Structures are given as structure tokens and as C-alpha cells.
Amino acid sequence: MIEIPHSSRRSVLTGGVTTLSAAGLVALLGGSLPAEARQSNRPGQDVQLLNAALALEHEGIAAYQIAAESGLLSADILKVGIAFQSHHKTHRDDLATAIRRLGGQAAASKSTAEYAAALGVSALKTQNDVLKLALGLERGAANAYLGLIPSLEATEFHLLSARIAGDEAFHAAILGNVLNEPIPQTAPIFG
């Protein structure tokens, strides 16, 4: 069961859910710069890749925000969207923490209007349209994080990427179920 905080929809969606990130990632990474990153001949490579992943999370957060404010979602679907958006905020914070630990600067979010244009949201007319967009983004994100793993130099970030991929795959499965998509008959489903 998904619990929704006792505040307005807008404040819930814009407030940010950041509690897990710093403590969680430091624990995950052991609180120091990963050995592979220290020894790498290309110390900025992981920063570049993690920042691209961060940009993906910024876009996902914006997409759920736009969906929530569209007026197209039922109350139950809105609850699911709020929960998924909070997961993406945690991903965002974990990635930003990792980037800063590597000495990099975390990429900033663009404006909501820029995301809306890039995602073509003006074409969304129904709840199903919104859900199909979300499913495409989540499914793509699961694959993107899995495909990113071999390019990351520090093994600690392999784990981070895999964990986020799992979350995205979970989101995609839920959204596919809501849309009555058939269960894939062949595996692997992602990656």
C-alpha cells in the first residue's frame, strides 16, 4: 500500500524526498572515493556518466510532475505517480552525492517547460496517454542503467546503477500492468 504524505498534492510533488540519499550512498560506497576512481586514468569519466544519469532522473521527476498537474490522472493513479516520483528523487540525490564525492558538479535540472516540450506532452489527452509515456520512460530507464554498468569504472557505481535499474523495472512492470500489457513471453526482459 502506498502512503501519501498529509500535504497538498503540489507541495508533495515539489517538496523533494531526500532522506535516503546521503546516508544511504555513503554507506553504500564506504564513505570514501572508490578505489577504481582514484586509480583511473580518466577520473572524470564516471562523473560524466553519472551526470547523464542524473539528467535522466531530472527528466523523470519533471515528467511525473507534469502528469500530476495535468488533471488527466485518477486519484489512485496519482498516488502511484507520487510514489514513483519520490523514488526518482532518491535516485537523483544518490547520483548527485556520488558525483560530488568524485569531485564533480551535479547537473542542474532544466525548466518544466523545457521538459514538457522535449517529451511532447502537448499530445497527451488521456490518462492512458500519460501512462504510456511513463511506461516508455521507465522501461527505457531500466535498460539505460543496465547498459551503463559496463562503462562505469568504479564497481561501487555498478551496484548503484543496478539498484536504480531494479527500481525502474519495477515501475515499468506496474505501469505495464495498469495498461493491461501482455506479460513478456521471453527473458531477459531488460538489458
Task: Quote the least distance from Cβ 36 to other proteins, whole Å.
Answer: 13
Could you tell me which residues come within 8 angstroms of residue 48 by beta carbon, excluding any fewer than 6 positions away?
A: none
Identify the three-state secondary structure at position 113. helix
Q: Single out the residue of 70, 95, 86 nearest to residue 171, CA to CA.
A: 86
Residue written as cell 522535449? 118
Task: Quote the least distance from Cβ 114 to other proteins, whole Å.
Answer: 9
Number of residues that bind other proteins (CB under 8 A): 26
Residue type, 66: I
Q: Select 12 or 58, whichever has its Cβ closest to other proteins.
A: 58
Contact flag: residue 150 with other proteins (CB under 8 A): yes
Q: Alpha-carbon distance 1 to 79, whole Å?
A: 10
Contact flag: residue 167 with other proteins (CB under 8 A): no
What would the x/- binding string for other proteins be over residues 70 to 109, using CB under 8 A?
Answer: ----------------------------------------
Task: Quote the least distance from Cβ 48 to other proteins, whole Å.
Answer: 4
Q: Single out the residue of 49, 78, 102, 154 in contact with other proteins (rule: CB under 8 A).
A: 49
Task: Quote the least distance from Cβ 49 to other proteins, whole Å.
Answer: 4
Q: What is the dihedral of CA 47, 111, 92, 52, to 10 degrees?
A: -30
**Residues numbered 103-142 forming contacts with other proteins, rule: CB under 8 A:** 117-120, 136-137, 139-141
C-alpha cell at 22: 546521503
Q: Alpha-carbon distance 77 to 91, whole Å?
A: 21
Contact flag: residue 55 with other proteins (CB under 8 A): yes
Q: Alpha-carbon distance 153 to 98, whole Å?
A: 13
Question: Which residues form the interface with other proteins (CB under 8 A)?
Answer: 42, 44-45, 48-49, 51-52, 55-56, 59, 117-120, 136-137, 139-141, 143-144, 147-148, 150-152
